């Protein structure tokens, strides 16, 4: 369903940044001459019905990878295929297939939750009846009926996140990308979000789930991709990754596989 191969993304330093870097010792292996290789070599795939865990320390290149998948930015090299369609060559196709949830909510603050979700449904060309039916289903799954009439700027963090998820899935995308969906949520809201993601297992959708919470990956993901310093360090079954250390713990496997110094 999703095939990412030898992906790379290089950002050019702006003038100010380039001036700061000049003459300074290189501290990060991703630094080049006037450029920064945020993603150097990332490969993984994700099948329909699968929730793939995307792991990596801060600044590893996860969000940059997901932004390329969602067509927000263009890769410098490599390929991203959705059902055999090249995302770079057919961005419209990709955009129709993908529902993307990141830390930024993208909700209209003056509209109610229901109005927000309906608005995005209309943007995707859904009929009124389709919108009503899908809202009913999604709001039930995410336990949102009690605050569907509230304005977005009056929502708690947990409500806001659930509304953002509803917005991201209203067009029933075939590929769902969740970038740190439980960050900042309390235990109850996080559970609602995780149960929602879990409900896609075995469905026709492919879900990519980026998180710093290893217990969430253990619970939800049969396979995992670990990215560090812009490169895939492991891609395969979660159990196999955990078993790569004596303790058999995912936590230890993670720590053994990544560069432990945060790079400036
Ligand atoms: N537009 C940009 N210009 C320059 N550098 C960038 C840009 N976007 C990201 N980077 C850099 O690329 C690296 C990877 O960032 P990215 O946001 O992909 O990491 P991440 O794995 O998602 O981290 P986190 O877990 O902290 O969200 C970081 O060093 C970041 O500063």
Q: What is the pTM of this model?
A: 0.90
d(CA 6, CA 78): 5
Note the pLDDT of residue 48: 96
* Position 259 pLDDT exceeds 90: no
Query: Nearest 5°: phi and psi at 179?
Result: -100, 105
What are the residue ranges of helices labelled H in 156-223?
A: 157-169, 187-198, 214-220
Mode of pairing for the β-strands spanning 231-237 and 223-228: antiparallel
Q: What is the pLDDT of residues 58-115, one digit of tens each?
A: 999 999 999 999 999 999 999 999 999 999 999 999 998 999 987 666 789 999 999 9
Q: Which CATH class is domain 2-13+31-105+173-258?
A: alpha beta
Q: What is the pLDDT of residues 206-221, one digit of tens each?
A: 999 999 999 999 999 9
Mode of pairing for the β-strands spanning 231-237 and 2-12: unpaired
For the chain, percent of residues with pLDDT exceeding 70: 94
- Name the closest-CA residue to atom 16, ligand 1: 61
ipTM of the complex: 0.96
- Name the closest-CA residue to atom 29, ligand 1: 59
Domain segments of the chain as ranges: 2-13+31-105+173-258
Verify whether ligand 1 is closer than 6 Å to residue 11 (CB atom). Answer: yes
Separation of CA 64 and ligand 1 centre (Å): 6
């Amino acid at each position: 369903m999703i095939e990412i191969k030898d992906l790379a993304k290089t950002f050019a330093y702006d003038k100010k940044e380039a001036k700061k870097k000049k003459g300074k010792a290189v501290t990060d292996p991703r630094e080049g001459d006037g450029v920064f290789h945020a993603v150097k070599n990332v490969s993984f795939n994700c099948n329909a019905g699968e929730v793939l865990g995307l792991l990596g320390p801060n600044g590893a290149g996860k969000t940059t990878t997901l932004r390329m998948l969602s067509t927000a930015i263009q890769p410098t090299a490599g390929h991203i295929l959705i059902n055999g369609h090249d995302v770079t060559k057919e961005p419209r196709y990709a955009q129709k297939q993908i529902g993307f949830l990141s830390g930024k909510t993208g909700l209209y603050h003056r509209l109610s939750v229901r109005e927000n979700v309906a608005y995005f449904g209309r943007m995707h060309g859904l009929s009124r009846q389709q919108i009503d039916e899908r809202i009913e289903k999604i709001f039930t799954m995410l336990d949102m009926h009690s605050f569907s009439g509230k304005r977005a700027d009056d929502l708690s963090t947990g409500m806001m996140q659930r509304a953002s998820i509803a917005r991201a899935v209203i067009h029933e995308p075939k590929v769902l990308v969740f970038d740190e969906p439980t960050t900042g949520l309390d235990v109850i809201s996080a559970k609602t979000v995780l149960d929602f993601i879990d409900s896609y297992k075995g469905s026709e959708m492919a879900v990519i789930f980026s998180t710093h919470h290893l217990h969430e990956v253990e619970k939800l993901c049969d396979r995992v991709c670990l990215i560090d310093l812009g490169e895939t360090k492991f891609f395969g079954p979660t159990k196999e990754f955990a078993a790569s250390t004596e303790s058999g713990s995912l936590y230890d496997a993670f720590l053994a596989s990544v560069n432990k110094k945060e790079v400036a």
